[in-house]
Amino acid sequence: GENVEQHPSTLSVQEGDSAVIKCTYSDSASNYFPWYKQELGKRPQLIIDIRSNVGEKKDQRIAVTLNKTAKHFSLHITETQPEDSAVYFCAAAPALQGAQKLVFGQGTRLTINP
Amino acid sequence: DTAVSQTPKYLVTQMGNDKSIKCEQNLGHDTMYWYKQDSKKFLKIMFSYNNKELIINETVPNRFSPKSPDKAHLNLHINSLELGDSAVYFCASSQYLNTIYFGEGSWLTVV
């Protein structure tokens, strides 16, 4: 089955700097890669996702890149702000089962220092 | 107009008790899930139902029994609660292969 590894487990950056979180996956059949943000005491919420037919996707300060050959994908947050502090999860899902078989990474606790 | 709602939000109970968590979604999705998040924040799928039919049943003790009376509801019943069952349980839903939407979570503490 799919296995997703996420690094780092904790990340601390200065406000205004960029943050990068990396994930690797094991199943070459996976083709859907969402990222979720979970604020303290709240539910995980989708912030961006990418499918395997594209290599990069941007949404304002957030971008995700995908390297299918190397089986890794990354989340990039630019011009970080205090409200970006949260736990971020990557996930991967195989083509035929999609979200039904989503496997999550271990999470990255991102802290933005003012 | 909460999309995925689950009750109760907090539950404190003694070892050996039986408890249920209820979940409802009003998004018209055909797939619902139960996820468990432990103290280290790991998110792990427990069950998945598609149109009331169980399609994913991960390695979960059979003390946990999901029930889906219709495609808008997915309840979780837990028998003989143990200390290790303490966690946050998230209900979620999606439309087939698309984005998963999570409920607010149910914080279960077994004492």
Answer whether B39 touches A (CB < 8 Å): no
State the average pLDDT for chain B. 92
Cβ-Cβ contacts under 8 Å for B59 (sequence gap 6 or more) = none
**Is there a contact between B96 and A98 if contact means CB atoms under 8 Å apart?**
yes
pLDDT tens-digit profile of A16-44? Answer: 999 999 999 999 888 889 999 999 999 99
User: Is B49 an 8 Å CB contact of chain A?
Assistant: no
Task: Tell me if A16 sits within 8 A of A113, measured CB to CB.
Answer: no
Residue A99 has pLDDT above 60, yes or no: no
**Mean pLDDT confidence for A52-66:** 93
Q: CB atoms < 10 A from the CB of B86, how many?
A: 17
Query: How far is residue B105's CA from residue B91's CA, in Å, rounded to a whole number?
Result: 7
B88: part of which helix (H) or strand (E)?
A: strand B87-94
pLDDT at residue A110 in the model = 98
Q: For chain B of 111 residues, list the mean pLDDT of each consecutive stretch of 10.
A: 90 97 95 92 90 82 93 96 97 85 96 97
> Nearest C-alpha of chain B: how many angstroms from A66?
18
Q: What are the backbone angles phi and psi of residue B17, rounded to the nearest 5°?
A: -75, 165
Confidence bin at A95 (pLDDT 50/70/90)? low
Place of tokens 């169980």: B54
Q: What's the confidence (pLDDT) of residue B56?
A: 78
Evaluate the omega torsion of the peptide bond into residue B61 and state whether it is cis, within 30 degrees of 0. Answer: no
Q: How far apart are CA A95 and CA A99, in angstroms?
A: 9
